[in-house]
Amino acid sequence: MSKEQRVVITGLGALSPLGNDAKTSWENALNGVNGIDEITRIDTSDYNVHLGGELKDFNIEDYIEKKEARRMDRFTQYAVVAAREAVKDAKLDINDTNANRIGVWIGSGIGGMETFEVAHSQLLNRGPRRVSPFFVPMLIPDMATGQVSIDLGAKGPNGSTVTACATGTNSIGEAFKIIQRGDADAMITGGSEAPITHMAIAGFSASRALSTNDDKETACRPFQEGRDGFVMGEGAGVLVIESLESAQARGAEIYAEIVGYGSTGDAYHITAPAPEGEGGSRAMQAAMDDAGIQPSDVQYLNAHGTSTPVGDLNEVLAIKNTFGDAANNLKVSSTKSMTGHLLGATGGLEAIFSALSIRDSKIAPTIHAVTPDPECDLDFVPNEAQDLDITYAMSNSLGFGGHNAVLVFKKFED
């Protein structure tokens, strides 16, 4: 059996409520900027939810020609923009000599929800002949991967993961394994989501998952008393990951190394986590086993931390059960306190933040940390960034359906 390839991160691309590129998003995260504000994309007058994490000053025609953009749902547009940034950042030239060894694996939790709403309205109001021939290829969640592959000419392993809020992390994990076993030299991977739509807000609101707090300074407050649900966000987080051999041959800058991936199922409930975060705990342990490390080796954990009453508490219990005494020395933060919850894109964005935490020896804070929940008693890096030399960082993503995905990142050492 051939030796497993080491896998490193060489390119980052992001669109988030904190910025329209990875660099700006990270700088604003470190500065504790709140990306949550009144929803402007839709009229929420009749809704009990009015806040969201929207992109700011973003015009797709600055990136993609208007006619082409109109044939993509927004989640696909976001993926293409973030992927272009990541590939440019990696200085990766995709050409006839390497295209077959460069793949794409970008997921979306709900896909083209806005496309579905528009087409359904056309169907009801104007009849079936008025539904666009682009309806299906705009709607399906795998089209982010498909369009990125077409746009960049990447012909290697090509797929899409759909695991609700774990989508981005699962996507990166699967891409990591593809390279590790030698099936590709590089992968463009992450998640993308455009869920601020009428149906998505109404549906998540009906399930009582969303915060109904209208104060943007307290609506998204992970691990705090009084939290009442997550705040919807939108955007994309895409990484270029590649074998160490490929990166070194190109002389590429390396942000961090991916060393562990764990993925489990709760087999418990369609929306609620298993008691004490049992499934998440197994995913964290599996990721550490894959990395060959102990809990005491991990300095920082980017938590799922969505600001839901049950979810946050169960994640804390999962961390304690997994890390034992080492949980007392672990820094844990939820960057969702600033971005809101980007559903399938959140794991991609938080992987970027985790890698940059290692590179810069800085941890982005959990903002709005004013009234800690006494049952959530870990070090959540409240309100201000902290300096810390990080060797290993972990990122958690826990999704509806009982999907749990965890990645472990390591400071790169040749």
Evaluate if residue 1 carries a pLDDT over 70: no
d(CA 357, CA 143): 31
The pLDDT of residue 2: 58
Helix, strand, or coil here: 302?
strand
How far apart are the two ends of the chain, measured CA to CA in Å? Answer: 23
DSSP labels for 196-261? -SHHHHHHHHHTT-B-----TTTSS-TTBTT---B-BB-EEEEEEEEEHHHHHHHT----EEEEEE
State the pLDDT confidence band at 414, using cuts at 50, 70 and 90.
confident
Cβ-proximal residues to 43 (8 Å cutoff; 6+ apart), any chain: none
Q: Is the Cβ–Cβ distance between 157 and 75 less than 8 Å?
A: no
Question: In the annotation, is 165 catalytic?
Answer: yes
Evaluate if residue 126 carries a pLDDT over 90: yes
Evaluate if residue 3 carries a pLDDT over 80: no
Q: Is the Cβ–Cβ distance between 77 and 41 less than 8 Å?
A: no
d(CA 159, CA 27): 31
Query: How many CB atoms are closer than 10 A to CB 46?
Result: 7
Label residue 325 exposed, middle or buried (CB < 10 Å: 0-12, 13-18, 19+).
Answer: exposed
d(CA 93, CA 84): 11
- Per-residue pLDDT of 308-339, as tens digits, reads 999 999 999 999 999 999 999 999 999 999 99
- Per-residue pLDDT of 237-291, as tens digits, reads 999 999 999 999 999 999 999 999 999 999 999 999 999 999 999 999 999 999 9
From the list 22, 165, 247, 378, the catalytic residue is: 165
Q: Is the Cβ–Cβ distance between 19 and 339 less than 8 Å?
A: no
Label residue 199 exposed, middle or buried (CB < 10 Å: 0-12, 13-18, 19+).
Answer: middle
User: Sign of the CA dihedral 299, 302, 305, 311?
Assistant: negative
Q: Which of 293, 213, 235 is nearest to 109 (CA)?
A: 235
The pLDDT of residue 18: 98
CATH number attached to the domain at 260-410: 3.40.47.10
Tokens of 115: 């496309």
Q: What is the CATH superfamily name and number for domain 8-250?
A: Thiolase/Chalcone synthase (3.40.47.10)
State the pLDDT confidence band at 202, using cuts at 50, 70 and 90.
very high
d(CA 29, CA 378): 20
The CATH 3.40.47.10 domain(s) of the chain lie at 8-250, 260-410
- Per-residue pLDDT of 71-92, as tens digits, reads 999 999 999 999 999 999 999 9
- Per-residue pLDDT of 135-155, as tens digits, reads 999 999 999 999 999 999 999
Q: Is the Cβ–Cβ distance between 276 and 321 less than 8 Å?
A: yes
Phi, psi at 232, each rounded to 5°: -70, 135
- Mean pLDDT, range 102-107, rounded to an integer: 98
Query: How many CB atoms are closer than 10 A to CB 115?
Result: 25
Phi, psi at 202, each rounded to 5°: -65, -45
